[in-house]
A and B are shown apart, each in its own frame.
Chain A
């Protein structure tokens, strides 16, 4: 869901950028915002994991079960982790703002563990996966609406060591 939202926003930015470019009538210039071609990403790098695998899965309201859309992402993560066995992950659990601080710390903890357990069930060694809950203290989207709350209810896998650069 985040991917869809982000793509739309990104696209809007591209349109705005090219309109600006048209106004200044410098047609020959390359677009200001250019996405790096996938081929330039080093396989096994943190960027490879983020761009080609996906580092975020989402949760439903008050839930910590792994949804089907999250399963697909975690299967890719597990396959990638098997391909690069020196990589270690920190799985962060996050919540939306519609709960109290302490309860959300516990819920974020559950979400991080749920991601870890799913990856372990796919054959990833548990010793490569650490978890950390941020409760509602580190949202990625700051508005108080359903769209932001969904983006904030997430498990975010960040490479802590062992990736190529």
Chain B
């Protein structure tokens, strides 16, 4: 697919201050965001419309700045100031801004940039991030790609700004795979869909003639694993985003479901219903040979690997109600980790390895929460009538999940995708084409 080729050609270059006039830099506290201290007040930042030397590139330059503003605003860490309030109109990318003008409007950071189409047809974007109080450039970089992927250039700039100010990788140049839902609850149509993390560029990978559920991104390749009713027996498939090919992961006599990739991307861990017993299996995608990891007579499902590949968290009702368990990658040493009141399901290990997100049901309320892998320090992030299925941003700072409203008057409730950050702040609805559920976040730059 075009996107993949473009990815390999999205070239980043550091911009230095060479050629810029020297300016005295007063000693000031550096502009930075400390995520672990819990950001309550978003930082005011100005993102000037990018400049274009050729009038042909002017609209693209302005649009790229819009993508950056959108990304930074949705993160909850930044407050992009209204461009109409800007005093200085930047006209030269190579000169220092008038810092005093930006202090007047209370900007703490300023982003300037330019966009131009190169002679080889590539679109290049250069940007600088300025510390207004420190009166210095914090970072300057250049990215280029094919012109139709101009939004990615905005996301790459936003990721660079996020990383420079927080010290952690961004998550804006990513995609979300999800299930698009339509029609009444009793005859719902489900389509496998994919879009950029900001809701742009949605496309559908299946047509809606059969049920598809629980898509998950490969951590290493352009592939998605999901569960489909396209065959007589509902089965786990892998969808190759580069070729558009979909393939069942093996021949099984009963239902296979709840798939996730292994951290190396070479295998899938999933549930298999064999002889009326649902257990966790892992299968290498080349040999296709399944290895059984659990054999308890209870339901064992929703397995998720730790990023180091050494342990698996899963859901089991062997103790009477659904609870979370952790085992070694070979199935040994199965230990229950959830002991709070209620039912715990859909555990998913953070890409940072330090937390497990889950769905919790207590009485008539569903919640999304996180806990340490030993079950300690449980924290509920959000609750409502129905929410489930958390998925982590690649930097482990943001969680997406499905929220469903109660059905009334025979039409059934609607499903939407929401995001919330690790501290429980910044709860937002994610833009999707129609109703949507089962989000799964891609790795960075995918």
Contact = CB atoms under 8 A, between A and B. Distances in A.
B389 A101 contact: yes
Given A109-B273, A110-B276, A101 B412 contact: no
B213 interface: yes
A139 B186 contact: yes
B345 A105 contact: no
A137 interface: yes
B329 interface: no
A142 B411 contact: yes
Contact of A106 (B299, B364, B385): B299
Nearest to B259: A102
Interface string A80-124: 000000000000000001111111011101100100010000000
Interface string B356-386: 0001010010000000000000000000011
A106 B273 contact: yes
A29 interface: no
Given A102-B301, A105-B258, A106-B273, A137 B412 contact: no
A143 B408 contact: yes
A144 B413 contact: yes
B257 interface: yes
A106 B271 contact: yes
A148 interface: yes
B409 interface: yes
B315 interface: yes
B214 interface: yes
A132 interface: yes
B412 A142 contact: yes
What's the interface size class on B, roughly?
35 or more
B184 A142 contact: yes
A138 interface: yes
B278 interface: yes
B322 interface: yes
B416 to A, nearest CB: 15
Nearest to B179: A101
A134 B437 CA distance: 16
Contact of A107 (B258, B299, B438): B299
A103 B322 contact: yes
A142 B410 contact: yes
B385 A103 contact: no
B319 to A, nearest CB: 13
B404 A97 contact: yes
Contacts of B389: 100-101
Interface in A136-153: 137-144, 148
Contacts of A148: 407
A133 interface: yes
A103 B314 CA distance: 11
Contact of A137 (B213, B254, B301, B406): B213
A149 B42 CA distance: 43
A109 B278 contact: yes
Contacts of A137: 188, 190, 211, 213
Interface of A: 62, 97-103, 105-107, 109-110, 113, 117, 132-135, 137-144, 148
Given A103-B317, A105-B255, A109-B273, 11 more contacts: A100-B346, A101-B438, A103-B301, A103-B302, A103-B346, A113-B276, A133-B273, A135-B213, A137-B211, A138-B186, A144-B408
25 contacts: A62-B321, A97-B386, A98-B386, A99-B361, A101-B213, A101-B214, A102-B271, A102-B301, A102-B345, A103-B315, A103-B322, A103-B345, A105-B234, A107-B299, A110-B276, A110-B299, A113-B276, A132-B255, A133-B255, A137-B188, A138-B188, A139-B412, A140-B186, A142-B407, A143-B407
